[in-house]
Amino acid sequence: MSERPTTDVTAPVGNTVTTSRAQRFWARYSSTSPIVLTVLALLLGLAIGAVIIMVTSPAVLNAWRSSFHHPGSLPSAVKISFDNVGAAYRAMITGSVIDPTLLFHSLSSGQGWDQTMTPISETLTYATPLVIISIGVGISFQTGIFNIGANGQAILGGIGGVAAGSLIHAPSVIHLPLTLVAGMIGGAIGGLVPGALKALTGAHEVIVTLMFNYVCNALLIYSVTSTALQLPNQSNGISRTIDSTATLNPIFGVNSGLRVSYGIFVAAAVVVFATWFLKRSSLGFDFRVTGANPNAARASGINPKFIVIAVFLVSGGLAGLAGEVQMASTTYNIDGGFLIGSAGIGFTAITIALLGRLQPIGIVWGALLFAALGVGGRTMQAATGLPLDLATIIQSIVVLFVASPVLIKEIFRLRSSAETFQMATKGWSS
Amino acid sequence: MTTIDAAPVTVPGVSAVRAPLGRRRVIGGLTIVLGLFIVGVFGLGSAGNAHSVVTFNPTNTSASVPWSLGALTVLTRWWNVVLGLLTVAIGVETWVRRPAGALARFGAGGALFFFALLLWSVRQPGPAPIGNINLTSVLVNSSALIMVLIYGSLSGVLCERSGVVNIAIEGQFIGGAVAGAMVDSITNSFWLAAVAGLVIGALVGWLLALLAVRYLADQIIIGVVIVTLMGSISSYLNIQVLAPYPNLNVGNLPSNVPIPVLAKIPVLGPVFFNENMFFYAAIALVALTSFGLFRTRWGLRVRSVGEHPKAAESVGINVARVRYSTVMMGGAVAGLGGVAFIATQGQFQPGITSGYGYIALAAMIFGKWKPSGAVMASIIFGLSGYMVQNLQSSAVPINTEFVTMIPYVITIAVVAGLIGRVRPPAADGIPYKRD
C-alpha cells in the first residue's frame, strides 16, 4: 500500500475529504469498471446456480422437510444445503483448474503431473476454438453487424477442413496450413451469403444468419453422407478421418493423455492478429468507425457495402477456422452432430464476445471462464450427479447480467462511471 | 411490356420503393420455374408405368366418416405433368398480367407442387399398388406443426408490433412445454396445463421486457441468451426432476373435440373440425389478434408504440407499460404454444421444440408482421416441415437435406426481397429512452 494520496476522480469532491481509506477503496471499486461488473455478474450467476441446486436436490429438500417437523434440525438442513452446493462448485473447480490433492501428490512425489495437469489441459482444449470463434463474432459486433450465424460458419469450416485434410495428401508443412485455410474459406463462404445479401438487398443479417445456421446443419448432414466425404463402407453419417499430416497434435505427445494441442498457438495467433487488426490496420479502423457511427463512416468515404461483406468474410473466416481447429485437434473427423450441441458453439461465442466486451484479450478471459465452467460441469456431473446443464445455466445468467449493466448497478447500488459497456442496439429495419 | 403501368402499392406492409410490377413478374417467373420442376422431376422423372395411390379416409376413426372415400390410383408421370403444366400456366398468367393476387397464385402453385411431391414420393413401379399416401392424415399431422408455428408467430407479431424483437419465442416454447407437461401430469387436466404455459410464457416475456424495456439491453442478444437459458434449465430439470419422478412427465394427450356435423366433411373435417382444443384456440387467437391489433384502440396504441414511440408518448401513451404488457401477452401466447407441443407429442424431452421458435420467427417475418400473413407462412413452413419428416421415413431417392432447407431458404429469399419486400415496424428492436 503506497502512502500516495489517491485522487478519486469518480467520487464527488465533497466526500473525499472526510472518507477513510477503506471508504476510498470501496468508492473506487464500487464504480462500474468492466471487470467489477463481470465479476459481480459471475457471482450472481453462481448464487442463482446455488439456489437451483438447492431446490432441485432431493437430499436438500428432504432435510428442509424434516426441519419443519423437528425445528432442532434446522442447522443441519442449512448445512446440507451448503454442503451440496459446495460439493458441486468444488468439483467444478477441481475439474477445470487443478485438484489440490493431486497437485500435492505431484509436488511431493514428482510424479503424476499428467493427471494433475489434465483439468487445465481440458479447459485450454475447450477454450481454443471458443477464443477463435468469439473473436470473429466480437469483430462483427464491433462493426455493428450481428453475426448470429457463427455456428453454421464453424460447421462449414469443419467441412472444409475435413475435405482438405482427407482428400488432399501432402507433407505436414503444406498440409496443415492448407487445412487451416480450407476451414477459413469454408467459414468465409458461410459469411459471404448473409454479407452479400445484406450489402446487395439490405436483408437483415440476424434473420439471414439464423436461417443459414439451419441450412448449414442440413449441409453438414448431407456432406457426411456424401460419397466424397463419408467414411468408406459406413452407413452412418460420419466423415473420413483427416490425414495425420493435417492434425493439430497434442503438445505433450499422445502418451501424456493431455489433449491440449498446437491449436492454442493458432488461437494465440488469432488474438495477436485481431488486436493488430482492430487497433492498427486501416480496414479495422473502418470497421470500428462503421460500428461507432455508420453515418459518419459513410460521410468520410467508407463504403458501407464493402464493409458489410468484409466483416462477414473476416468473422465467418474466423468461425470456420474455429470449427477446423475443433475438428483437427480433438476428433479428427466430423459426424452429423458436429458442433450442434444443446446451445451450439456459435451461440456460446455470442455470449463470450459480450463477456469479453468484444476485445480480444477480454474474449480470451471470457472463453477460459466458459471453458472452465463447461469442463468443470462435466466433473461436477460425475462427482455429484447434477446435470451438466447447470454450467450452461450459469453461463446464460452471467451474460444476461453483463448485457444489462444497468441492472447490476441497481442490484449492488453502484455509481455509474463514464465507461459503461452497452451493445449498440438496432432493429430489424437497419 | 410497358402498356400497363404500376398502380401505387396498396398492400400494407409492402414498401413502395421497389416497383411492384417487377416483383409480380419475379413471382410469376418463380411459379413458372416451380411448374417446370414439377414437369421435369416429378413428372418425366418417374417411370412410365409408375402409379401413385392416394387415400382419403382418416386414420383416426374417432370422427366416424359417414361415407368412405375410395382410393385414387393415378399414373404418376402424366398426373404430375398435368399438375406441372397447370403451375406453369398460373406462372405465365402472373408474368403477363401481373395481377394483384400474384402471391396467392404463387401459393396455389406451391400447393400443386406439394401435391405433386406427394404423388411422386409414393409412386410404385408397375400396376400393383403397394404403398399409398393418405392425404387426410398428411394434412392432419402437419396441422399439429402448423398450430405450433401459429402460436409462435402470433407471439412474434404481438411483441414486434409493440417494438420489441422477440427472438426468445423458442425459450417461451420450452418454458411452456416443461410447465405444461408437469402440470398436466400432476392434475391430468390440459386446461390447467394451458394456464401454466400461459404463466410461464408470460414470465419469460416479462424477463425479456424487463431487460429490453427497462434496462435497455440489446433485444437480439437478450433473446438468444434467454433461449439458451431456457434450453439449459429444461434440460437440467429433465435430468434432475423429470427422470427420477416419471409421474411428472406421463405424456397424456388431450382428446380431440369433434365439432358436430362439420367434422364429418371428408378431408376438411378431420383437418379443421376434429382437433384438440389447442388447435381451436390457435384459430381463435389469430382472429382475436388480428381484430385487436387493427380494429381496437388497444391495437392502435400497440402499433403506434412500435412505429413511433415518441409520438405515442406525446399523446399520453405510456410506452414502457404498453411494451411490457404486450410482450408479456406475446410470451403467454408462445407459452401456450409450448403446451400445444406437449398436447401433440406427449412427453417432454429436451430439444422437443427443435428450433421451431426460430422458424416461427421466420414465419412472422414472411407474414409481414401481420397475423393473417403469419398464418399463411405457418402453413407453408408447417407443410414443408412435415414433408421433411415424411420423406425421410418413406426412403425417397431425394436428398432430404435439401428439402430440410426449403423453409429457411424461402425465408432468406423473402428477407432479401426476392419475393416481395417486407417492412418491420419502424421502432422494432430499438429501446425507447424517455428524455
DSSP symbols for B351-410: TTTTTHHHHHHHHHHHTTT-HHHHHHHHHHHHHHHHHHHHHHHTT-SS-HHHHHHHHHHH
Contacts of B424 in chain A (CB under 8 A): 427-429
Residue B3: pLDDT band (50, 70, 90) is: very low
Identify the pLDDT of residue B13. 41
Contacts of B236 in chain A (CB under 8 A): 52, 56, 387, 389-390, 393
Digit-coded pLDDT (tens) for B389-420: 666 555 455 566 777 787 788 778 777 766 55
Residue A418: pLDDT band (50, 70, 90) is: very low
Residue A346: pLDDT band (50, 70, 90) is: confident
Asked if B362 and A427 come within 8 Å (Cβ–Cβ), the reply is no
Separation between Cα atoms, residue A255 and residue A257, nearest integer Å:
5
The share of chain A scoring above pLDDT 90, in percent, equals 40
Q: For the residues A4-27, what does the mean pLDDT come to?
A: 56
Digit-coded pLDDT (tens) for A302-330: 998 999 999 999 999 999 999 999 999 98
Digit-coded pLDDT (tens) for A66-96: 888 887 888 888 888 889 899 999 999 998 8
Calculate how close chain B gets to A326, using CA atoms only, in Å.
Answer: 21
In a mutational test of the A interface, the residue from B218, B354, B388, B402 whose CB has the highest number of chain A CBs within 10 Å is: B218
Q: Which residues are B55's β-sheet partners?
A: B134
> Does the predicted TM-score (pTM) go above 0.95?
no
Most confident of the ranges A125-134, B68-77, B362-371: A125-134
Separation between Cα atoms, residue A401 and residue A45, nearest integer Å:
8
Question: B181 is written with which cell numbers?
Answer: 407437461
A2's CB contacts (< 8 A; 6+ apart) are none
Asked if B361 and A207 come within 8 Å (Cβ–Cβ), the reply is yes
Asked if B409 and A389 come within 8 Å (Cβ–Cβ), the reply is no
Q: For the residues B115-133, what does the mean pLDDT come to?
A: 68
A329 touches A128 (CB < 8 A): yes
Lowest mean pLDDT among A54-68, A345-359, B327-341, B387-401: B387-401
Q: For the residues B224-229, what does the mean pLDDT come to?
A: 90
Calculate how close chain B gets to A261, using CA atoms only, in Å.
Answer: 29
CATH fold for the domain made of A114-363 = ABC transporter involved in vitamin B12 uptake, BtuC (1.10.3470)
Q: Is B355 exposed, middle or buried (0-12, 13-18, 19+ CB in 10 A)?
A: middle
Q: For the residues A111-126, what does the mean pLDDT come to?
A: 88
Of A387, A397, A426, the CB nearest to B239: A387
Separation between Cα atoms, residue B335 and residue B322, nearest integer Å:
20
Contacts of B228 in chain A (CB under 8 A): 343, 347, 351, 392, 395-396
Contacts of B368 in chain A (CB under 8 A): none
Task: Give phi and psi for B52, each to the nearest 5.
Answer: -125, 140
Digit-coded pLDDT (tens) for B136-191: 778 888 888 899 999 999 999 999 999 999 989 999 999 999 999 999 999 988 99
Separation between Cα atoms, residue B95 and residue A413, nearest integer Å:
64
Identify the pLDDT of residue A162. 94
Question: Nearest Cα to A403, choosing from B235, B70, B225, B94?
Answer: B225
In this complex, how many residue pairs, one in chain A and one in chain B, have their CB atoms less than 8 Å apart? Answer: 169
What's A294-348 look like in SS3?
A: HHHHHHCCCCHHHHHHHHHHHHHHHHHHHHHHHHHHHHCCCECCCCCCCCCHHHH
Mean pLDDT of chain B: 82
Contacts of A52 in chain B (CB under 8 A): 233, 236
Calculate how close chain B gets to A60, using CA atoms only, in Å.
Answer: 13
CA distances from B104 to A256, B377, B413 (A): 65, 12, 17
Most confident of the ranges A1-5, A310-314, A354-358, B378-382: A310-314
Mean pLDDT of chain A: 85
Pseudo-torsion of CA B73, B79, B80, B81, nearest 10°? 160
A393's CB contacts (< 8 A; 6+ apart) are A48, A49, A52, B229, B232, B233, B236
Identify the pLDDT of residue B288. 95
Digit-coded pLDDT (tens) for A161-196: 999 999 999 998 999 999 999 999 999 999 999 999
Separation between Cα atoms, residue B59 and residue B100, nearest integer Å:
39
Separation between Cα atoms, residue B335 and residue B171, nearest integer Å:
9
Top pLDDT among A351 and A267 is at: A267
Contacts of A392 in chain B (CB under 8 A): 228-229, 231-232, 235
Separation between Cα atoms, residue B43 and residue B113, nearest integer Å:
11
Identify the pLDDT of residue B382. 86
Task: Give phi and psi for A204, each to the nearest 5.
Answer: -70, 130
Top pLDDT among A283 and A37 is at: A283
Top pLDDT among A32 and B102 is at: B102
Identify the pLDDT of residue A264. 93
B176 touches B353 (CB < 8 A): no
| ipTM at complex level | 0.85
pLDDT of A340 higher than 80: no
